Each structure stands twice: as structure tokens, then as C-alpha cells.
Structure 1
């Protein structure tokens, strides 16, 4: 029996979460052999160049104002990814790091309220105690204090939440009321073109930071084939391919259960890291990560309940 578009979308988004989780593993391997910001710059520039092949018809249509909006989104995303990759490099546990970074999902409506005046959904308020308690459990092994890596990942999660808000607004048309009372409609930017420019912006931002803060000469003189493997694999598989599959999957259906599927990413990271790096979690880490995952589910409780009702009709 052939699958309908909703089922195809769900399966593809499941693949997306696996690709994203694999990106954590590939990135961790890469930052052990080369400077983290340098790696991110090359990774995202390659991914952007690859996506540009598919977006070549869309790119000329975005115009100057659209380009400025894309660059603004990319600048925020670039800063978020800079904090993320340095936090990942310093982290002693990849699985735990993924759950901390996933808190950006909870922060999205908080940032929307702070910067754009949107109301905070009821379910976000319900989710926050679980998230905070989970984070507290993760800090227990360090004497009730957060490590520098955990702080960097938290900062990246907050900036990622801002990126998500800006990206959503760039990808959708918006109405703005002018001073004379007239309404101005801002055209939406094609998703593939938006993603291509944003990823390129991330590559430029992290590259500039790398040039200022990291030793490029050492990497160039000590370059090994394994460097190229981690860079190309992370750029094409966990970045370019991920966004291509995600964009296609989201185009198949308007149902929002994909949001629930996407929160599986930290779970996959923890499972893969357990096999790849032989990581294990203490009791406090298990409880902390479990509470954070519960907060993600509670935050999307309306979608989860709707999905359950659809499954049992």
C-alpha cells in the first residue's frame, strides 16, 4: 500500500533527525583535530555552495531587501553556531550537550515575546519547570554549578531561538502598518534560497571569527586526509542533505506532527554517542536529560495529543 504524503513527510523528517544527530558526531570528531570555528566556516561554505546548485533559479528572485533579511538571519545563526561548536569542543559528554542545546525549542516563544511581543503559549509555561529541573540535575555532577561548555551551549540555544524567530519571519510574508496607516506586505523568501544564503553567512561569520581567534597556519601545514573526510561528510550529509530533505518533507504536508518528530534529535545523539564514543550517563544525567526531553514533549503537548488522536481514530 503506497504511503500518503503525510506519512512520507513523517518518515523523511525522522531521517532528518538522524542526519542532524550524525552532524553532532561528525562535528565532535572534526573539532578534536582542527580549530572549531575554522571547521564550521569550511563546513557551512561547502554546504551553501552545494545548495546553491539547487537554488540557482530562486536566488536571483530574492532582491536586495530579501538579501539583507537573509544576511541578518545568517548573522544571528552564525553567532549561535559559534557558541555551539566551541561548547561542543569543550563538552565532556556529547549526549548531554545535545539535550542542553535542545532547550532552544523551549526558548523560542520566550524570545518571540521579548523581541516581537508575541504571547507565550500556555504549554511553554508548563514545560519550563521540567526544563529548569532537568538542567539542575545536569549540574549536580559539578557541585551544583554549570561547566563552561554547558554555559556556552545554553547561550547558543538562546541565540538559536532568536534565529528561529527571524528565520520564520523571513520565510513567510508579513504585514506591517506604516506611519500613515497604510499596510505594507513583505514578500516571503523562497526557502531554498533563504537556506543557501543563511548557510553561506554562517560560513563567513565563523570564518572571520576564526581568522581573528584561531591559528590557520597550523592546520594548513599539518593537514591530513581525515580532516577532509570530517569536513566533507558534515557539510554534505548533516548540513546540505539534511536541509534538502527537511525542505522537501515539509513541502509534502501542512500537518504539524513533524515538530514532534524533530525533538527526537537529542535522543538519537545520545544513542549514537553511546556506541561511537562509548559514552554512558550517570543517574543524575539520565534524570536531567529525561526531564529536558519531557519538557520538549510538554512544550508541544497540543501537537502530541492531536497526533495521538489521529493514530487511534
Structure 2
């Protein structure tokens, strides 16, 4: 397979998992009405770890300390990002959380500049400015000047997901795939168990409700094992910035699913703000791509 074909396959695969993530927002929101946040995340990541380990046994993988260490670093980001996002779902609509999570595409070029001195184009700066406007419109419906608790938590989640995208792009090229992902899942599982024991009223649910079980199995199998296997492998063939742009389909699918399936109310200003956020995301990468091409031609 040619390099260009691999890049196209990577882009299509990443697009698919971004849609899966967007669809699961509403399921998680229903599940955490039944089970505390850290308890839900613990069971989700534990099931994902077990499933991934069982899948990997047939491959007879080898382990090395650098891959495990890198996976543990990703696992900390992974756990904290999902924790903030899930707490955000307790205090805001799934569609709003989805769109704010999508701001990770704006944080990615910022982190690439801050951490690796990669200069950003005027389109990236324009995207950041547009994202701030869109965020205000989505989170406040055009009124007030502050962000609610759910929106602030999700904003922190977006920053952590951006760091995760940046370092997944780096680590996936340097380390073995299986120990990298397994260490990531295991670290997230242990951290969520610790947080649940410290902060949740209970970790083991007394009853297994349908919303909890549905969200648990779908998020563990599809939105965790499949999604992060695809992301970690396919990011070898594309860039962190392009990955972040492809992941803009996550908030779009979350908004569409929340509006049509759950009837979540979205005002005209919020819809406009969501559109501005998507425009900001596209500006960061697509506009920057055109800018670099023009500079090369000149």
C-alpha cells in the first residue's frame, strides 16, 4: 500500500471513530445518572483493559519498559480528560459538551508551538479567535459573560485531549503498539478506581440498570478499545493537526444525535456558535494548509 493510500485509510478510520465518540455522549450522560462518574469510568476502562488484553494474547506481544512508560503518560492524560468530560456531562447538554470538546483542534497547534516551537500560521490564530467567540455563543446562548461549571470542565477536557493527540502522534511512531495501549488503559483504570474509592459514594453499583450496561459495553468496546487501537495505529500515517481536524466530526455527531434523538434544545445562537466552532476548527488546519502551499509557490 502506498504512503498516500495509507494516509487516506488513516483519515477515513479516524473519521469513523470520531463519529462513534460523538454518538456515545448521550449514552454516558444517561449512565452517570445511575452510577457516579469515577465508578462508571473505572468499569469502562477495566472492561476495555480486559478486552484488549484478551485480543492481544493471540498476537503474543512483547513488552518493553519505554513503551509501558509512554503508555502510562498517555493514560494519565486519557483518564483526566475523560473525567472532566464526564463531569461536564453532569452539568451541561451532551451537544454542548460535544462542541466544546471539539475545541481540542484549536489547542493542538497551540501546544505544538508552546512545547515544540512549531510556528503557527495566521489561519491558526484566526481559528483560535473564532473558537473563543463560538464557545461563548454555545455555552451562554448569547447571554451573560461567564462559562458554567459544565462548560469549564469540558474546556479542560479539550486541552487534555489535545495533549493526548500530540503525544499519541509522537509515541505511536517510537513505541510498540500493544504495550503502549495496554499501559494506557491500565493506568486509566487504576486512577479511576483510586478516585472512585476516594470521592464516589459507591464504586460497585447495587443494581445493573440498562442505561449503565448499554453505555458500559458500547463505550468500552467501540469508543475505547476499537477507537484507541485505531487512533494509536493510524496516527503513524497522518499528522496530529490533521487528526484534530478529523475529530471535529465528534462534536458535530454529538450535536446531531443529541438534537434529533434526545430532543435536546439548541437555540439559534447556540447553533450559530456551533457552526463558528466548526469553522474555527477547519480554519486551523485547512486554512493553514493553503497558506503553506501559497508560500511554497511564491
Identify the TM-score tier after normalising by the shorter chain: 0.7 to 0.9
CA contact (8 A) 2:242 2:285 kept: no
Which of 268, 283, 295 is equivalent to 2:253?
A: 268
**What secondary structure, in the 3-state scheme, does the structure 2 residue paired with 1:221 have?**
coil
Residue 185 of structure 1 corresponds to which residue in structure 2?
A: none
Indicate the residue corresponding to 1:32 in structure 2: 33
Gaps of 5+ in 2: 292-298
TM-score, structure 2 normalization: 0.84
The alpha carbon displacement at 1:30 in A equals: 1.1
Greater CA drift, 5-14 or 229-238: 5-14
The residue that corresponds to 2:163 in the other structure is 162
Aligned to 1:237: 222
Q: Per-residue deviation at 1:223?
A: 3.6
Provide the C-alpha distance between the structure 1 equivalents of 2:178 and 2:120, rounded to a whole number of angstroms.
29
Measure the CA separation in 2 of the matches of 1:50 and 1:264: 26
Q: With structure 1 as the length reference, what TM-score do the two structures score?
A: 0.80
User: How many angstroms apart in 2 are the aligned matches of 1:8 and 1:165?
Assistant: 20
1:226-280 Cα offsets, whole Å, 9 max, x none, are: 43232112211222122344456667x6599666433211111111111221113
Residues 191-200 or 95-104, more deviating: 191-200
Summarize the Cα distance change of 1:7–1:160 in structure 2 as closer, same or farther, 3 Å threshold.
closer
Long gaps (5+) in structure 1 = 173-187, 307-313
Q: 2:201 — aligned with what?
A: 215
Bigger radius of gyration, 1 or 2?
1
Alpha-carbon spacing, 1:223–1:16, altered in 2? closer, same or farther (3 Å): closer
Q: How does 1:1-313 map to 2 (within 5 A)?
A: 8-56=9-57, 57=59, 59-61=61-63, 63-91=64-92, 93-114=93-114, 116-122=115-121, 123-141=123-141, 143-172=144-173, 188-216=174-202, 220-246=205-231, 260-302=245-287
Q: Distance in 1 between matches of 2:176 and 2:60?
A: 7
* Structure-2 change in CA distance of 1:224 and 1:95 (3 Å): closer
Contact 1:98 1:270 in 2 (8 A): yes
- 8 A Cα contact 1:134 1:292, kept in partner: yes
Kindly tell me: are residues 132 and 258 of structure 1, through their superposed partners in 2, closer, same or farther at Cα, counting changes over 3 Å? closer
CA distance 1:204–1:95, change in 2 (3 Å): same
State the alpha-carbon separation in 1 of the partners of residues 168 and 19 from structure 2: 22
- Provide the secondary structure at the position in 1 that maps to 2:73: helix
Structure 1 residues 8 and 295, CA gap change in structure 2 (3 angstroms): same
Q: Aligned equivalents of 1:152 and 1:304: distance in 2?
A: 31
Counting matched residue pairs gives 283
Structure 2 counterpart SS, 1:12: helix
